[in-house]
Structure 1
Amino acid sequence: MAQKGTSVRQEVGPASVRSVLLVPVPVERAFEVFAEELADWWIRDYTWSGSAALVELGIEPHTDGMLYEIGPYGFRADWGRVLVWEPPYRLVFTWQIGPDRAPVPDPERASEVEVRFRADDSGDTVVEVEHRHFERHGESGEGYREALTAGWQELLTGYHRSVTR
């Protein structure tokens, strides 16, 4: 079970990282902050534009929508595509950023992120994030999984701060 506070529990497998945390808001609000207020909690240094130049960061709210960033001079980088959009319970998207931080245009070579939101008995929300299929990134997949284990820990800590404001 997830713990209250900013604690993010992680389980690391050979081809996935699963993170679980508990946020003290209803499921609808937890989903909204994650999917619709991404720019409020995502670490801007984890973008191509960087913290000073990032103009917009978002998820187009529908199946086949894009995860994207817009930087200086209209620069747009798509990070992945929404595979499942089921508010407020589930979101699945491709992660089309390679271990070298280069775009991965082929979705068959991209990893995948699934985010689930479910109410617990107290009305809080359990948020489960599973980043999987690192093997699709080739030989660098294992190292990438290790790097993103720390990355998701930091990102979800920021998400928790944002959702509890």
Structure 2
Amino acid sequence: MSATIKLIPIPPIVKTLTVRCSPETAFRVFTADMGRWYPLSIYSIKPAVDCRLEPHIGGRLYEIGADGQETLWGHVLEWDPPHALALSWQARVSEEEAQRIDVSFRAIPEGTEVRLVHAGWERVKVDGAEWRDKYDGGWVEIFERRFKAFADKSI
């Protein structure tokens, strides 16, 4: 008798915020300017001086060390400027454990509503729920504070 492994769903992280700029600007800030707002001194795999996203489906998301070494964070799964993008996220895990990050940009009277959903925690082999909780706090600093502050200045 073979045993079937059943993955227990772990709720995604969902963060929604408003920035005081257009969807086009917010999308550009999130993608092309990531190395300017992402807090690499706090959140990087190796000591890094920059991070970049290649703007096309299949493009890499990666950090760059002072020595020029590139370390992969994930890949672009969807690319629909200025409305949405989706990324695989495999920082510190194998490709089979990669999660998915969806980011959408919607015009509202105050500027742009930006919604980030980080899902797929049940794929992480070593306590996905614990990883999810750590990333939830990380996204507060990265997305809710750093991205928002930089986007709000990019009117």
TM range (shorter): 0.7 to 0.9
Aligned to 1:151: 138
Runs (4+) of structure 1 exceeding 4 A deviation are: none
Comparing both structures, which one devotes a greater share of its residues to helix? 1
> Over alpha carbons, which structure has the higher Rg?
2
- In the alignment, structure 1 residue 35 sits paired with structure 2 residue 68: no
Is 1:79–2:66 an aligned residue pair? no
Preserved CA contact (<8 Å) 1:63 1:84: yes
Structure 1 contact 93–112 (Cα < 8 Å) conserved:
yes
Output aligned runs, 1:86-165, within 5 Å: 86-97=80-91, 102-104=92-94, 106=95, 108-120=96-108, 122=109, 124-156=111-143, 157-165=145-153
> Among the aligned pairs, what percent are the same residue?
32
- For 1:136 and 1:18, how far apart are their aligned partners in 2? 18
**TM-score w.r.t. structure 1 length?**
0.82
Unmatched 5+ residue regions in structure 1? 1-12
8 A Cα contact 2:10 2:128, kept in partner: no
Q: TM-score, normalised by structure 2?
A: 0.87
Q: Distance in 1 between matches of 2:61 and 2:43?
A: 14
Q: Look up the match of 2:5.
A: none
Which amino acid in 1 is paired with 2:105? F
- Stretches of structure 2 lacking an aligned partner (at least 5 in a row): 1-8
1:32 maps to amino acid:
R
Structural RMSD (CA) = 1.4
Aligned 1:50-65 pairs, distance under 5 A? 50=47, 54-65=48-59
Contact 2:101/2:117 (8 A) holds in 1: yes
Q: Deviations over 1:114-144 (max 9, x none)?
A: 0000011x15100000000100102420000
Aligned length: 143
